[in-house]
C-alpha cells in the first residue's frame, strides 16, 4: 500500500515544494469563504440548505458534523457518486431525504480537513450569496495551475483508463479556475441537480459502453490510495469534473454558478502556481491558443524543476493539450 501511495505521489507534479522560498504575491481576487459577494437583487434563499455526509458504520456516523444530515453508504451505494445517484433518483418521492430543501449537496466526513473551513461556514456562505443555482469549491486549487482540466490527473494515476476517458474530457479541454472542480463538492438547487445528473448519467453510460469489464470495475471502485480521490471512486471525481462542460451546454448555460475560494488553501500556492493559474484563466477568457502556448511553456518549465527530466519524459504528454478547446 505504501508503495502504491508513493507511486501516485511521484506522478503528481505539484506534490513537492518548488520555489518554496519565492515570495507569494497577493492572491487573485475571488469570493472568499469569509466574505460574501454582493449578490444582485432577485431570488434569494428562503428555504433550508441541506448538506448530506455519508457514513458506513455507527462510529463513522458519530463523526458526522452536526451541521450535516448523515446518509448511510451500503454495498449498493458505496461512495459519494453512488450516494448522489441515489439521492437524485429519489427526489420527488416520499422516500427522498431532500424534502423541501431549497438547496442541497453532499460532502465527505473529512470535509474540514480537506478544505480548512467549518461545515457551518460553507453552508452560511451559500446563504450569503443568494440568486445562484450552484455553488462549488475546490480543495486543491494548485491543480488549477498545472492541469488543463479536472480529469487530467486521472490520466496520470490510471493510464489504463486513457482509451475511454477522452469521450468525457480529453487533454485538449482547457478549464478555467471559476468552474474547475476536483470533487463533487457542489451545493445546488434541485432543478440544477436534476438536469446535471441526467447529463452525467448519459455521459457515464457512453463511457461504460467503450470500457472493458475491468475498466468499468476500476471506475466504480473506491480508491483509498489515490490522493485525488481519498476513498471515493473515479465516478465521484467525474461527477464534479464535468461541471465546466455542462455549464457550456444549452441547458447548463441557464444556471448561475459561483465558486467560493478557500483562503487557507489559496495561501498554500507559491508565486509560480498563482501566475500559472492566472495565465491559464486569461487564455480561456480570451479564447487564445497563443496564451495557452505561453501557459504550457511556463507550466512545463515549472514541472521540470519540480519533478525532473525523467518524470516529464514519462508523464508530461498525458497532461499536455495538442490543441485548445476552451471551457
Query: What is the chain's pLDDT, residue by residue, as a tens digit (327 residues)?
Result: 444 433 333 444 554 343 333 334 343 344 555 333 333 333 446 568 999 998 889 999 999 999 999 999 887 777 888 888 889 888 888 888 998 898 999 998 889 998 999 999 999 999 998 889 999 999 999 999 999 988 887 778 888 887 787 666 656 789 999 999 867 789 999 999 999 999 999 988 988 888 999 999 888 887 767 666 666 788 888 888 888 889 989 999 999 999 999 999 999 999 999 999 999 999 999 999 999 999 999 999 999 999 999 999 999 988 888 888 887
Q: Answer positive or negative: Cα dihedral of 321, 21, 6, 225.
A: negative
From CA 316, how far away is CA 309, in angstroms rounded?
A: 10
Residue-range definition of the domain harbouring residue 205: 39-326
Residue 14 domain-assigned?
no
Residue 118 domain-assigned?
yes
Residue 30 domain-assigned?
no
pLDDT at 77: 78
Residue 4 domain-assigned?
no
Number of domains observed in the structure of the chain: 1
Residue 132 domain-assigned?
yes
Cell of 42: 432577485
pLDDT at 271: 98
Residue 125 domain-assigned?
yes
pLDDT at 185: 81
pLDDT at 39: 33
* Partners of residue 136 on adjacent β-strands: 186, 259
Residue 202 domain-assigned?
yes
Buried b (16+ CB within 10 A) or exposed e, 105-143: bbbbbebeebbebebebbbbbbebbbebbbbbbbbbbbb
Residue 103 domain-assigned?
yes
Amino acid at each position: 500500500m505504501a508503495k502504491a501511495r508513493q507511486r501516485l505521489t511521484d506522478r503528481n507534479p505539484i506534490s513537492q515544494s518548488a520555489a518554496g522560498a519565492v515570495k507569494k504575491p497577493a492572491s487573485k481576487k475571488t469570493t472568499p469563504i469569509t466574505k460574501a459577494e454582493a449578490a444582485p437583487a432577485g431570488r434569494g434563499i428562503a428555504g433550508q440548505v441541506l448538506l448530506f455526509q455519508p457514513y458506513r458504520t455507527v462510529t463513522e456516523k458519530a463523526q458526522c458534523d452536526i451541521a450535516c444530515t448523515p446518509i448511510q453508504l451500503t454495498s449498493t451505494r458505496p461512495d459519494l457518486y453512488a450516494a448522489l445517484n441515489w439521492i437524485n433518483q429519489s427526489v420527488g418521492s416520499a422516500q427522498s431525504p431532500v424534502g423541501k430543501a431549497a438547496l442541497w449537496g453532499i460532502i465527505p466526513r473529512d470535509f474540514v480537513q480537506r478544505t480548512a473551513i467549518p461545515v457551518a461556514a460553507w453552508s452560511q456562505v451559500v446563504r450569503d450569496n443568494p440568486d445562484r443555482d450552484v455553488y462549488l469549491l475546490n480543495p486543491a486549487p494548485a491543480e488549477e495551475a498545472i492541469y488543463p482540466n479536472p480529469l487530467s490527473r486521472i490520466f496520470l494515476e490510471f493510464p489504463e483508463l486513457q482509451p475511454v476517458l477522452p469521450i468525457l474530457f480529453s487533454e485538449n479541454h482547457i478549464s478555467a479556475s471559476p468552474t474547475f472542480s476536483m470533487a463533487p463538492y457542489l451545493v445546488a438547487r434541485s432543478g440544477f441537480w436534476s438536469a446535471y445528473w441526467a447529463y452525467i448519467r448519459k455521459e457515464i453510460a457512453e463511457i461504460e459502453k467503450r470500457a472493458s469489464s475491468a475498466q468499468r470495475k476500476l471506475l466504480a471502485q473506491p480508491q483509498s490510495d489515490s490522493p485525488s480521490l481519498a476513498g471515493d471512486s473515479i465516478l465521484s471525481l467525474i461527477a464534479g469534473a464535468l461541471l465546466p462542460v455542462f455549464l457550456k451546454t444549452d441547458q447548463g448555460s441557464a444556471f448561475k454558478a459561483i465558486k467560493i475560494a478557500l483562503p487557507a488553501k489559496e495561501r498554500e500556492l507559491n508565486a509560480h502556481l498563482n501566475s500559472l493559474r492566472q495565465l491559464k484563466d486569461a487564455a480561456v477568457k480570451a479564447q487564445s491558443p497563443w496564451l495557452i502556448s505561453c501557459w504550457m511553456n511556463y507550466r512545463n518549465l515549472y514541472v521540470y524543476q519540480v519533478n525532473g527530466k525523467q518524470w516529464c519524459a514519462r508523464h508530461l504528454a498525458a497532461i499536455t493539450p495538442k490543441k485548445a478547446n476552451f471551457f
